């Protein structure tokens, strides 16, 4: 079967409304993102109802802009790919229904894509060949998990978080430190000014599950460290170093459970420069693949790219369901 040439991707899992046109599953012709982070800032996190309102306002203009930027007409689109989950149910439904409506109006096939799997694909879009099997890590505001990647579409779970995702922990610590939302980039910025050994923080351990993560205790430790202490930069640096080294340490343990040939990362936390330094230090002899530029954040290009790769010629049914939780395996 000939793979689709032009794929329209739609992403609406959380607070970004995204649309993109990708050619041959690899070449990004447009990647438009309308974020609603500005309206969530005063709440210190995503307010689902307000995110949905912004999705409703933005979805059609974003699709139009993606087509215009790509220089592609609806007639040229071969496939519509949409994030089917996991995510906020209201937000998912807006993207899903928009994709279904366009599928009907344009008479184009539809494919639902796993948002988490797409984060990993983002690091492989512009790579000719990725050494497999690989260790996959998804580090974002909603997800922290490790997988053995046999090939695109074939995964074995290794570890996950039992409470907060790492990006969520960064945002909550940012809020504790009085930093604006989203807190991850702000914590990283403040951490550059502090001593990562200023406070003796410890990463969470999960009994009988050494490859699982727990960040809620670390977040609470930050709260206690702040009492009567004005060294916010030291707290930020100590938190960041502890959290990121925990990820690298468990990734190293996970990589030793099989014949790991490379490391593939995805998700917003992968934009953290200190994480890049620690991972390079931890894995000096393995190739590490990172999502380029804006592909670390939620975006529709990764949805379109993965959709093109997984499309077998049969359209998903119009009763395709959006799911708040969905396994990558």
Give the CATH number, domain containing residue 47: 3.30.420.40
- Are 33 and 163 contained in the same domain? no
- Are 113 and 73 contained in the same domain? yes
- Are 162 and 205 contained in the same domain? yes
- Are 138 and 270 contained in the same domain? yes
- Are 169 and 182 contained in the same domain? yes
User: Do the Cβ atoms of 302 and 119 come closer than 8 Å?
Assistant: yes
- Are 113 and 151 contained in the same domain? no
What is the structure's pLDDT at 51? 74
Whether omega for the bond prior to residue 184 falls within 30 degrees of 0, making it cis, is: no
What is the structure's pLDDT at 46? 66
- Are 115 and 13 contained in the same domain? yes
* Total domains present in the chain: 2
* Residues 15-57: tens digit of each pLDDT: 889 999 999 999 999 999 987 666 666 656 665 677 788 889 9
Alpha helices in the chain (DSSP H): 37-40, 48-70, 89-106, 115-122, 166-176, 183-191, 216-226, 232-255, 273-282, 301-310
- Are 174 and 283 contained in the same domain? yes
Instruction: Give the span between the Cα atoms of 146 and 19, in whole angstroms.
Output: 27
- Quote the crossing angle between the two packed helices 115-122 and 301-310, to the nearest 10°: 100
- Are 141 and 282 contained in the same domain? yes
* Residue 127 included in any domain: no
Alpha helices in 192-231 (DSSP H): 216-226
* Residue 316 included in any domain: no
- Average pLDDT for 138-142: 92
Structural domain that includes position 186: 132-291
What residues form DSSP beta bridges with 112? 82
* Residues 112-137: tens digit of each pLDDT: 999 999 999 999 998 989 999 999 99
What is the structure's pLDDT at 184? 93
- Are 84 and 139 contained in the same domain? no
Distance of CA 277 to the CA centre of its chain: 20
Closest CA to 176 of 247, 227, 245: 227
- Are 141 and 46 contained in the same domain? no
């Amino acid at each position: 079967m000939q793979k689709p040439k032009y794929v329209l991707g739609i992403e609406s899992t959380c607070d970004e409304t995204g649309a993109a046109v990708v050619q041959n599953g690899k070449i990004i012709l447009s990647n438009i993102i309308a974020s609603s982070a500005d309206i969530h800032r005063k709440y210190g996190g995503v307010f689902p109802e307000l995110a949905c309102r912004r999705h409703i306002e933005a979805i059609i203009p974003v699709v139009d802009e993606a087509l215009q930027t790509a220089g592609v007409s609806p007639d040229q689109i071969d496939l519509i790919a949409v994030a089917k989950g996991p995510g906020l149910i209201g937000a998912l439904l807006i993207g899903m229904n928009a994709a279904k409506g366009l599928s009907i109006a344009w008479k184009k096939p539809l494919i639902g894509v796993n948002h988490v799997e797409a984060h990993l694909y983002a690091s492989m879009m512009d790579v000719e060949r990725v050494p497999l099997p690989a260790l996959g890590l998804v580090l974002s505001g909603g997800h922290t998990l490790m997988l053995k990647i046999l090939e695109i579409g074939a995964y074995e779970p290794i570890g996950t978080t039992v409470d907060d995702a790492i990006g969520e922990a960064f945002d909550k610590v940012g809020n504790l430190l009085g930093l604006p939302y989203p807190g991850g980039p702000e914590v990283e910025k403040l951490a550059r000014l502090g001593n990562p050994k200023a406070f003796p923080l410890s990463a969470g351990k999960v009994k009988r599950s050494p490859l699982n993560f727990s960040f809620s205790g670390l977040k609470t430790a930050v709260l206690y460290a702040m009492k009567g202490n004005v060294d916010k930069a030291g707290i930020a640096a100590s938190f960041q170093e502890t959290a990121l080294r925990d990820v690298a340490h468990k990734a190293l343990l996970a990589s030793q459970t099989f014949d790991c040939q490379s490391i593939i990362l995805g998700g917003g936390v992968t934009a953290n420069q200190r994480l890049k330094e620690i991972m390079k230090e931890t894995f000096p002899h393995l190739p590490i693949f990172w999502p380029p530029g804006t592909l670390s954040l939620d975006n529709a290009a990764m949805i379109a790219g993965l959709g093109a790769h997984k499309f077998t010629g049969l359209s998903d049914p119009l009763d395709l369901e959006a799911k708040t939780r969905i396994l990558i395996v």
